[in-house]
Amino acid sequence: MLTAAVYVALGSIALALTLCMVRLMRGPHPADRALAFDTLYINTIALLIVLDIYLSTSIFFEAALLIALTGFVATAALARFLARGKVME
């Protein structure tokens, strides 16, 4: 039963990633693409967590933690650039 649940979870996260890609490509505004990127990295964290459960390890958690850190910084920098035209002042 757990295996089935893991497969369903992996499938739905893959679907979610595809939906994010649709918005990322469709836009229309750069702000939409930044939002799609933000969702994309959070969903990637989710994928790594489920993979860890699937493989019964903990090796991906370090990667998930790193993506959480860098993803936020990337979103913040991107949003500031789009809002002001520069990252630092």
Partner 1 sequence: MLDLLVSVLLLVGSLFIVVGAFSLVRLPDFFMRLHGPTKSTTLGVGSLLLAAVIHTADGLTLHKLLIALFLFMTAPVSAFLLGQVGLRRRVTSRAPLPEDFPGSHQ
Size of the site for partner 1 (CB under 8 A): 50
d(CA 58, CA 23): 31
d(CA 56, CA 9): 15
Query: Quick check: 44 and 17 in contact, CB under 8 A?
Result: yes
> Is residue 87 at the binding interface for partner 1, with CB under 8 A as the rule?
no
d(CA 47, CA 68): 13
Here's the x/- map for partner 1, 20-59, by CB under 8 A: it reads as x-xx-----xxxx-xxx-xx--xx-xx--xx-xx--xxx-
> Is residue 13 at the binding interface for partner 1, with CB under 8 A as the rule?
yes
- Cβ-in-10-Å burial (0-12, 13-18, 19+) of 58 comes to exposed
Residues near partner 1, by CB under 8 A: 1-2, 4-6, 8-9, 12-13, 15-17, 19-20, 22-23, 29-32, 34-36, 38-39, 42-43, 45-46, 49-50, 52-53, 56-58, 61-62, 64-65, 68-69, 72, 75-76, 79-80, 82-84
